[in-house]
Amino acid sequence: MATVSTPGGTATADVLPLTDGFHLVVDALKLNDVEVIYGVVGIPVTDLARVAQASGIRYIGFRHESDAGHAAAAAGFLTKRPGICLTVSAPGFLNGLVALADATTNCFPMVQISGSSERHIVDLKQGDYEELDQLAAATPFTKAAYRVDRVEDIGRGVARAIRSAVSGRPGGVYLDIPAAVLGQVVDASAGAASLWRVVDPAPRQLPSPGAVDRAIELLAAAERPLVVLGKGAAYARADEQIREFIDTTGLPFLPMSMAKGLLPDDHPQSAAAARSLALRRADVVMLVGARLNWLLGHGEAPQWNPDARFIQVDIEPTEMDSNRPVAAPLVGDVGSVMKALVERTKPGQIAVAAPWHQELAARSAQNVAKMSQRLNADPHPMGFYGALRAVRDVLHQHPHAYVVNEGANSLDFARNVIDMQLPRHRLDSGTWGVMGIGMGYAIAAAVESGAPVVAVEGDSAFGFSAMELETICRYRLPVVVIVLNNGGVYRGDGINTASADPSPTTLMLHAHHDRLIEAFGGKGYHAATPAELTTALTDALASGGPALIDCVIDPTAGTESGHLTNLNPQGVTATDTAAGAPPKR
Task: Give the three-class secondary structure for 20.
Answer: strand
In this structure, are strands 547-552 and 479-485 parallel, antiparallel, or unpaired?
parallel
Is residue 412 a contact partner of residue 494, using CB atoms and an 8 Å limit?
no
Exposed/middle/buried for residue 361 (C-beta within 10 Å: 0-12, 13-18, 19+): middle
Closest CA to 235 of 281, 274, 290: 290
Domain 209-362 and domain 377-567 have a common topology: yes
Query: What confidence score (pLDDT) does residue 578 get?
Result: 35
The dihedrals phi and psi of 230, each to the nearest 5 degrees, come to -105, 180
pTM: 0.93
How far apart are the C-alpha atoms of 108 and 8, rounded to whole Å?
63
How far apart are the C-alpha atoms of 207 and 313, rounded to whole Å?
9
Quickly list H helices, 396-456.
Answer: 409-417, 438-449
**Residues ≥6 apart with Cβ < 8 Å to 29:** 37, 52, 57, 84, 158
Ranges assigned E (strand) in 293-368: 309-314, 326-331
Identify whether 381 is preceded by a cis peptide bond (ω within 30 of 0): yes
CATH code of domain 209-362: 3.40.50.1220
How far apart are the C-alpha atoms of 563 and 342, rounded to whole Å?
36
How far apart are the C-alpha atoms of 571 and 577, rounded to whole Å?
11
How far apart are the C-alpha atoms of 543 and 548, rounded to whole Å?
12
User: Mean pLDDT for each consecutive 10-residue tract of the chain (585 residues)?
Assistant: 46 75 98 98 97 98 98 98 97 97 98 92 85 95 97 98 98 97 97 98 96 98 98 97 97 98 96 97 98 94 96 97 96 98 96 96 96 92 96 97 96 95 97 95 98 97 97 98 96 94 93 97 97 98 98 92 66 40 32
Q: What is the DSSP letter of 319?
A: G
Helix or strand holding residue 111 (H, E): strand 110-116
Q: Which CATH architecture has domain 377-567?
A: 3-Layer(aba) Sandwich (3.40)
Q: What is the DSSP letter of 224?
A: S
Ranges assigned E (strand) in 232-356: 253-255, 284-288, 309-314, 326-331
Domain boundaries, the chain: 19-193, 209-362, 377-567
Which residues make beta-bridge pairs with 115?
Answer: 177
Q: What is the DSSP letter of 277?
A: H
How far apart are the C-alpha atoms of 20 and 298, rounded to whole Å?
51
Which residues make beta-bridge pairs with 84?
Answer: 37, 111
How far apart are the C-alpha atoms of 275 and 178, rounded to whole Å?
50
Task: Give the three-class secondary structure for 473.
Answer: helix
Would you list the DSSP string of 247-268? HHHT--EEE-GGGTTSS-TT-T
How far apart are the C-alpha atoms of 116 and 181, rounded to whole Å?
10
CATH code of domain 19-193: 3.40.50.970
How far apart are the C-alpha atoms of 414 and 398, rounded to whole Å?
16
Q: In terms of residues, how long is the chain?
A: 585
How far apart are the C-alpha atoms of 37 and 71, rounded to whole Å?
10
Ranges assigned E (strand) in 275-345: 284-288, 309-314, 326-331
Query: What confidence score (pLDDT) does residue 122 get?
Result: 85
Q: Amino acid identity of 315?
A: I
In this structure, are strands 453-458 and 479-485 parallel, antiparallel, or unpaired?
parallel
